[in-house]
Structure 1
Amino acid sequence: MSTYKSLADNDLFSLMQDGDRYAFEEIYERFNGLLYIYACKLVSDREDARDIVQEVFVYLWSNPNIKIKSQLSAYLYTAVRYKIFDWLDKNKSKSNYLQSLEKFVDRGDCITDNYIREKEFASLIEKEVSLLPPKMRQIFEMSRQQHLSQKEIAQLLHLSDKTVKKQMSNALKVLRLKLTSFLILAVVFFIS
């Protein structure tokens, strides 16, 4: 093994390509620490830097047909740099995705809560309208659901305009009284 220490980098690389595990181990010993320091300068997380360097060595060992045009050291530093670029792209995408997901979840809860409250409130209004006296309910529904004017309602029901106006006014008073307490509770709940 001590003979491997005296070999040049490119000689070790040739032996490694022929499947010499000891040559690979010597390359690893020579460059692992330096590549790790280099990676730490570009990647803030030490574990990520270590993983990047390990990926380069795994690739080196598992691809014996790699062609190196210059020095092994130049190849390894370049490989680490490209792995870091890949890592940054993935983390940027992951970070953007997580931020987007957080925003959606934050907004989604709010949208869902508002939707549920809106449905509950609409249901409560329907219930309270159904409890109005029959003629008052009919006039209120014609006004609010069919969007008829007081004059049109009066003509259709053969009532005076004053009667329709009084029935609408009474319906609104009853509904205001019943729904105000619900609205106060909803606002207090929403604020807290």
Structure 2
Amino acid sequence: MSAPLPRFYTSWTDAALVEALALDNRGAFAELYERYWHRVFALAYRKLKSREAAEEVVQELFAALWLRRAQQTIDQLDHYLLAAINHRVIGYIRAHRVRTLYADYCQNLANEATYETEETLAFSDLSTAFRRGVALLPAKSREVFQLSRLEHQSVAEIATRLNVTPKAVEYHLTKSLKLLRTHLREFLVALLPLLVFIR
């Protein structure tokens, strides 16, 4: 295995390297990269706490340095690179925060949609089961129940309307509620975990 070749540009000043870089000198760029990569990476890593994120912003910084080599004026390279990496780190953090907030927003929308769908289905099923239970009641009990619970009439009003005693109205209401509870018991047992989850 041969020893690595000595770097030709190691003795050059930053200013000389920047001048050579502006003239498309790849060797000067490679020397700048070797000279400053670890320093800017360490700063990015300290702020981002992620090796991958730090490597990403450092690579972007040096790519931009090469791509804009002829357009930019750099007086002090170390100050320029440290300020540029700070700027890129801030941009990365902002973008990451926006992505996280957007992901949370999308997740909340999905959760709400699921919640509303399950809630709507559950109460639609309950409503259907309730209507079926009412339909199964004996005719007189069903009539009393509907007047009381659906038309909100009092016991006295129902007794007068149906020409029965208030005791008879109360008997039919008690009977109706007992029959409905029995009819809906299985449905409510199945629905209970979902109701607990929804609340």
Q: TM-score category by the smaller chain?
A: 0.7 to 0.9
Return the alpha-carbon distance in structure 2 between the equivalents of residues 31 and 182 of structure 1.
70
The residue that corresponds to 1:21 in the other structure is 26
The residue that corresponds to 2:81 in the other structure is 76
Q: How far is 1:12 from its partner?
A: 1.5
Q: Identity over the aligned pairs, expressed in percent?
A: 28
Alignment of 1:1-192 (within 5 A): 3-63=8-68, 64-68=70-74, 70-99=75-104, 101-102=106-107, 109-110=114-115, 112-187=117-192
Return the alpha-carbon distance in structure 2 between the equivalents of residues 38 and 167 of structure 1.
81
Q: Which has the higher contact order (CA 8 A, sep 6+)?
A: 2
Return the alpha-carbon distance in structure 2 between the equivalents of residues 169 and 44 of structure 1.
68
Structure 1 unmatched runs, 5+:
none
Structure 2 unmatched runs, 5+:
1-5
Q: Secondary structure at the match of 2:24?
A: coil
Which is further off, 49-58 or 138-147?
Answer: 138-147
Q: How far is 1:113 from its partner?
A: 3.5
- Number of equivalenced pairs: 191
Q: How far is 1:122 from its partner?
A: 2.0
Q: How far is 1:56 from its partner?
A: 0.7
Structure 1 residues 183 and 134 mapped into 2: Cα distance closer, same or farther (>3 Å)? Answer: same
Return the alpha-carbon distance in structure 1 between the equivalents of residues 160 and 24 of structure 2.
100
Q: Which amino acid aligns with 2:34?
A: E
TM-score by length of 2: 0.79
Q: How far is 1:83 from its partner?
A: 0.9
Return the alpha-carbon distance in structure 2 between the equivalents of residues 182 and 5 of structure 1.
81
Q: Give the CA RMSD over aligned residues.
A: 2.8
Return the alpha-carbon distance in structure 2 between the equivalents of residues 188 and 167 of structure 1.
32
Return the alpha-carbon distance in structure 1 between the equivalents of residues 158 and 196 of structure 2.
40
